[in-house]
Amino acid sequence: MTKDHPFDVFKSPSPSYKYKIGLRGSRTLSVPDSTERSLMNFQPTAKRALRIADEQNLRITVHKRLSQSGAKLIERIYAPRQD
DSSP state of 57: T
Question: Given this model, what pLDDT does residue 82 score?
Answer: 78
User: What's residue 1's pLDDT?
Assistant: 42
pLDDT in tens, the chain (83 residues): 457 899 999 999 999 999 999 999 999 999 999 899 999 999 999 999 999 999 999 999 999 999 999 999 999 999 998 77
Domain extent listing, the chain: 25-79
Q: What is the value of pTM for the model shown?
A: 0.90
Q: What pLDDT is recorded for position 2?
A: 57
Residue 33, burial from CB neighbour count under 10 angstroms (0-12, 13-18, 19+): exposed
